[in-house]
Amino acid sequence: MNLALQQGYGVVSKSGFTPGFDGVDGSLREFRVGSVKVTSTARQCVLRVSDRGGLRRRVGGKESGGVEGGRCSSSRPRSVTARASLLQGLGGSLKEGYVLKNHGIVDETTEVESTGDVIEKLKKGFKHFKDTQYNQKPDLYAKLAEGQEPKVMMITCADSRVCPTMLHGLEAGEAFIVRNVANLVPPCEGSGEHHGTSAAIEFAVTVLQVERIVVMGHSNCGGIKALMSRDTYSGDFVGSWIRIGLPAKKKTLSLFSGKPFQEQCTFCEQEAVNVSLANLLTFPFIEERVKTGKLHIYGMHYDFIEGQLTSWEIEREEVPIHA
């Protein structure tokens, strides 16, 4: 399962065994982009601000509140006028014919309807989080308002069944997480394209200085199924992305050519993780830190059918010295 790794590295088996919001003032702003008829040449911007002003949070025994220009104002209560002027500037990059409809701010005091609508569910979920987490851990959220110092970066699939913060019992601030199709890491390349995953890796390693990177695959991965079943990988975004895993497909077909497709996919899900681990080592700032022991990289596979987690890690091989 480790042929994707470059010479000098081996796999060590260790078998054994997740919200976006304003972390400074602990509220959730919600917008919906709608299509409208624009009757004049000037873009219309409709923003109805709903704010009950004066809501404050208690941090370390002191009241604080108010966000102006994205910075926390420690002494003044939240200003409706300031927030309104902040919101008025949003949405300028929308194409003509679209405006923002502001739904206001959600916090623990907001009345949320029970319509069964998924957006209402998100708002209710946030209210629950505010009550049971944010308000209960003022020291943690005050510290997180100052900055983040996660020790681990996780790269997992965007699949809705794979939720790393929930699976691993992580608190806010503990893990820097990137989720993409089939949890793939591309090789280091400077093509100047939109390298979202590579940018996140660069930031996590060189700025946040995480000490561990975990790439976690999972059972029944649709991205891996597509990788295994497709003949061509051009013409759409998914195809050009999942082709990163082609070395894993090649390895799978060389070992499991006569086996059932499901079995092939299970193997490929894990070998694609190793392709990603190998690609991590193509980033010079990663290999340098791995060589000096400052960074360790791990593979995991979450099987949600059996309810199991398998893990392994990359270690440098001892190279024998020949006289």
The answer to the question of residue 159 lying near Zn ion (CB under 5 A) is yes
Determine contact, residues 159/222, Cβ cutoff 8 Å: yes
Residue 9 or 302 having the CB closest to Zn ion: 302
Q: Which of 323, 322, 319, 314 is nearest to 9 (CA)?
A: 314
**Cβ 182 to Zn ion shortest distance, Å:** 5
Largest Cα separation within the chain, whole Å, is: 84
| Nearest CA among 22, 52, 26 for reference residue 131 | 26
C-beta closer to Zn ion: residue 24 or 214: 214
**Phi, psi (rounded to 5 degrees) for 203:** -65, -45
Judged by beta carbon, residue 157 or residue 265, the one nearer Zn ion is 157
Residues 233-262, one symbol each (x = binds Zn ion by CB under 5 A, - = not), give: ------------------------------
CB of 312 to Zn ion, least distance (A): 19
**157, 175, 210, 242: which one binds Zn ion (CB under 5 A):** 157
CB 314 within 8 Å of CB 11? yes
The answer to whether 51 contacts Zn ion (rule: CB under 5 A) is: no
Residues facing 71 on adjacent strands: 68
Q: Is the CB of 106 or the CB of 228 nearer to Zn ion?
A: 228
Phi and psi, residue 249, nearest 5°: -65, -45
Q: 189 with 129: CB under 8 angstroms?
A: no
Closest distance between Zn ion and the C-beta of residue 116, in Å? 27
Query: What is 246-314 written as a DSSP string?
Result: HHHHHHHHHH-TTS-HHHHHHHHHHHHHHHHHHHHTTSHHHHHHHHTTS-EEEEEEEETTTTEEEEEEE
Segment lying near Zn ion (by CB under 5 A), choices 85-93, 118-126, 214-222, 226-234:
214-222
221 is in an annotated binding site: yes
Which of 221, 242, 277, 286 touches Zn ion by CB under 5 A? 221
Residue with smaller CB distance to Zn ion, 65 or 245: 245
In whole angstroms, how close is the CB of 282 to Zn ion at the nearest point? Answer: 22
Count residues binding Zn ion (CB under 5 A): 4
Residues flagged as binding site for Zn(2+): 157, 159, 218, 221
Binding residues: 157, 159, 218, 221
